[in-house]
Amino acid sequence: MFFAFIVSAVLAMIIFAAFNAYPKVKAVQTVDNSVICPIEASKNPRVTDVVISEFGKSAILSVYNFDFLNWRDVINNAGSMYFTEGGKDSLMKQIAQSQTVGTIVQNNLTMRTTATDVPQIENRDLHAAEPSWTVRVPITTQFFLGDKQPKETHRFIATVTIVEHPRSYLNYNGIAVKTITLTPAR
């Protein structure tokens, strides 16, 4: 009996030592919360054409879905999540010049945008100093005034220029929107 107790105590100590010697997950602290090993988006196998086109579509839908109360938060959040710094500045200027936000706020409207077709990559320039993709997203923008039926409906082709961008906790794919251009659909 005493022998069984000794054997089980020795086995318990061996198991305890094995678990303590087992490699543990280590975290490496960074100053700016950036990735340790950057991977270029054009060489990242996870960043496929589908990911890029869906990213462009998500950026468009994030920017152009707001109402008269939450427009500032929606645009700032979408700008931080999807855009480069220059792209966010360009977006803010474009929205200010279009008078869309002023009309929405003044008339207590809600703007809803939906993609009407699958986004398409129109152009790839992976050999430039700044690799980029141009994505076309057909969208319909509707303005509502508290009813189920829209007050106005507009159709656009959104052309989104996507570039490589340093990865972050918000943007883990390493791509970001540089510009958005809306053209009326025919």
Q: Does 77 map to a domain?
A: yes
> For position 111, which CATH number holds?
3.10.450.230
Q: What is the pTM assigned to this prediction?
A: 0.75
Q: Does 12 map to a domain?
A: no
177: nearest Cα among 97, 119, 127:
119
Write the burial class of residue 48 (CB in 10 Å: 0-12 exposed, 13-18 middle, 19+ buried): exposed
Q: Does 126 map to a domain?
A: yes
Domain containing residue 127: 39-184
What pLDDT, on the 0 to 100 scale, is given for residue 141?
Answer: 96
What pLDDT, on the 0 to 100 scale, is given for residue 124?
Answer: 87
59: nearest Cα among 133, 130, 124:
133
What pLDDT, on the 0 to 100 scale, is given for residue 134?
Answer: 96
pLDDT digits (tens, 9 = 90+) for 71-121: 889 999 999 899 999 999 988 888 878 888 889 989 999 999 999 999 999
